[in-house]
């Protein structure tokens, strides 16, 4: 399995992650087969510097919008402003989506994707 992400969506996701540091960013990657857009979502966690929770109403609105536009949710992303791009215990415990979870590790400037809670890594391919 491979996650294909267009350059523009890739850069949008990183911009979001950097803009929200030291808080964790969260959002969706949507598209048709390949992720074309990054859609940031509010982080409703009460400790957003070390945890994320996509704000439920915003998430629902985004899912409806994707549906209306004929876009699939291809991945969820969130950032680790001070950590490695590896799933935390909470990331594994709270995972409920079957799509890959992209984790952006800001100190290393690297992103990795995993199926959670299994932990299988998914290769990310950034495309023009
Ligand atoms: Zn995390």
- Determine the distance separating the centroid of ligand 1 and the alpha carbon of 32, expressed in angstroms: 26
Element (H, E) at 17: helix 7-20
Q: Dump pLDDT digits (tens) for 22-52.
A: 999 999 999 999 999 999 999 999 999 999 9
Dihedral-angle region of residue 70 (phi above 0 means left; psi in -120 to 50 means alpha; beta otherwise): left
Q: Given this model, what pLDDT does residue 43 score?
A: 98
Is residue 24 annotated as a catalytic residue, yes or no? yes
Catalytically annotated residue among 11, 24, 108, 121: 24
pTM above 0.75, yes or no: yes
Domains of the chain and CATH, by start: 2-127 (3.40.140.10)
The two beta strands, 110-115 and 101-105, are antiparallel
Q: Dump pLDDT digits (tens) for 70-103.
A: 999 999 999 999 999 999 999 999 999 999 999 9
Q: Convert 78-95 to b/e letters by CB count within 10 Å (16 or more is b).
A: bbbbeeebebbeebeeeb
């Amino acid at each position: 399995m491979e996650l294909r992400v267009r350059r523009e969506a890739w850069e949008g996701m990183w911009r979001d992650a950097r803009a929200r540091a030291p808080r964790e960013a969260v959002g969706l990657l949507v598209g048709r087969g390949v992720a074309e857009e990054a859609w940031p979502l509010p982080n409703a966690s009460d400790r957003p510097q070390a945890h994320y929770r996509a704000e439920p109403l915003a998430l629902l609105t985004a899912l409806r919008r994707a549906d209306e536009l004929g876009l699939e949710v291809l991945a969820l992303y969130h950032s680790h402003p001070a950590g490695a791009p590896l799933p935390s215990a909470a990331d594994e415990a709270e995972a409920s989506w079957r799509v890959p979870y992209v984790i952006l590790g800001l100190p290393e400037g690297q992103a990795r994707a995993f199926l959670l809670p299994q932990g299988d890594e998914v290769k990310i391919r950034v495309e023009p």
